[in-house]
């Protein structure tokens, strides 16, 4: 709102922004600066900062030179490519189911949200059982319909899909909540008009519902890409990057380099490369949103 002098508006804005600005300056910009500096050194975590030497961009050069970066990038992208579509579809479906008002709605809502609030420590134990090759729930079920399930977490090909399944189970409830909100905020008149025109079910969904929730889908997609690049907890606790380094992801490499190999400078460089990936992906998404996101109404 443009009320009052610009001076008074600026002053007011500053005051309202103050706590966040302090947080931003002190706990974001400052560490970012330190981290950038760190990435140009060969600082070893256990030795005093003073012993670190500036090595310029050699950390970055080494990252691009060895094949490891490309390997973990492809693993991370595989994870995202499998996880993101699945979780968005699953949570849309769940949201649609919960959008109706029916008896026991409350109970189902709680059940769907339980995985979200379970810690990964417990979640990984559960899923290592579900994905078990011999007696796991999943393989037994597949066997019942005649398919021999793979040895999931022990297989280099199937470990990542296994982790994705666990992650989808865990996170769907969270995004379903967001989509539920979007669904509930669609103006009833659209549906009424559609009913008058004789449209039903699937057509209504694809022609009316989807376009109207597309801004929310976009929001969820952007958040998921940002988080997907940084996936760590699920991978670490389910496979530790195995088997035979088949599920190593970028964040896991950063952690290992920092805390197991003590190469803090190198890990810092790694995390800045990660940032670059995230930045590029987000900018691309922002650019192409006009093609499919519907902002009317």
Check residue 218 for interaction with other proteins (CB under 8 A).
yes
Three-state secondary structure call for residue 154: helix
CA distance linking residue 207 with residue 191, whole number of Å: 11
Of positions 81, 199, 278, 285, contacts other proteins by CB under 8 A: 278
What Å distances lie between residue 225 and 103, 180, 187, 194, CA to CA? 36, 21, 29, 34
Check residue 147 for interaction with other proteins (CB under 8 A).
no
Q: Shortest gap between Cβ of 70 and other proteins (angstroms)?
A: 16
9-28: which residues touch other proteins (CB under 8 A)?
9-14, 16-17, 19-28
Of positions 60, 108, 190, 191, contacts other proteins by CB under 8 A: 108
Check residue 288 for interaction with other proteins (CB under 8 A).
no
Q: Shortest gap between Cβ of 280 and other proteins (angstroms)?
A: 10
Beta-carbon-side half-sphere exposure of residue 255 (alpha carbons within 13 Å): 13
Check residue 176 for interaction with other proteins (CB under 8 A).
no
3-state SS, one letter per residue, for 226-288: HHHHCCCHHHHHHCCCCCCCCCCCHHHHHHHHHHCCCEHHHHHHHHHHHHHHHHHHHHHHHHH
196-215: which residues touch other proteins (CB under 8 A)?
215
61-80: which residues touch other proteins (CB under 8 A)?
none
CA distance linking residue 285 with residue 290, whole number of Å: 9
Of positions 122, 193, 195, 284, contacts other proteins by CB under 8 A: 122
Check residue 60 for interaction with other proteins (CB under 8 A).
no
Check residue 284 for interaction with other proteins (CB under 8 A).
no
Q: Shortest gap between Cβ of 191 and other proteins (angstroms)?
A: 15
Check residue 47 for interaction with other proteins (CB under 8 A).
yes
Name the helix (H) or strand (E) containing 7: helix 6-24
């Amino acid at each position: 709102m443009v009320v009052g002098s610009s001076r008074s508006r600026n002053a007011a804005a500053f005051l309202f922004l103050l706590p966040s600005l302090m947080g931003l300056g002190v706990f974001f910009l400052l560490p970012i600066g330190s981290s950038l500096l760190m990435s140009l050194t060969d600082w070893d975590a256990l030795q005093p900062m003073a012993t670190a030497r500036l090595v310029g961009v050699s950390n970055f050069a080494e990252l691009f030179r060895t094949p490891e970066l490309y390997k973990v990038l492809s693993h991370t992208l595989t994870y995202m490519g499998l996880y993101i579509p699945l979780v968005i579809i699953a949570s849309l479906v769940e949201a649609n189911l919960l959008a109706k008002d029916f008896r026991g709605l409350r109970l189902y809502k709680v059940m769907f949200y339980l995985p979200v609030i379970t810690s990964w420590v417990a979640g990984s134990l559960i899923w290592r059982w579900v994905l078990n090759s011999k007696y796991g729930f999943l393989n037994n079920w597949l066997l019942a319909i005649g398919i021999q399930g793979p040895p999931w977490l022990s297989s280099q090909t199937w470990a990542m899909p296994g982790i994705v399944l666990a992650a989808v189970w865990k996170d769907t409830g969270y995004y379903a909540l967001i989509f539920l909100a979007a669904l509930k905020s669609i103006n009833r008149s659209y549906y009424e008009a559609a009913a008058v025109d004789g449209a039903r079910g699937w057509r209504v969904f694809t022609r009316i519902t989807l376009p109207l929730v597309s801004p929310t889908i976009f929001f969820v997609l952007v958040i998921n890409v940002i988080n997907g690049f940084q996936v760590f907890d699920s991978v670490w606790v389910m496979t530790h990057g195995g088997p035979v380094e088949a599920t190593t992801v970028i964040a896991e490499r950063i952690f290992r380099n920092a805390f197991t190999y003590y190469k803090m400078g190198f890990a810092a460089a790694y995390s800045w490369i990660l940032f670059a990936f995230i930045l590029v992906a987000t900018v691309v998404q922002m650019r192409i949103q006009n093609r499919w996101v519907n902002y009317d109404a």
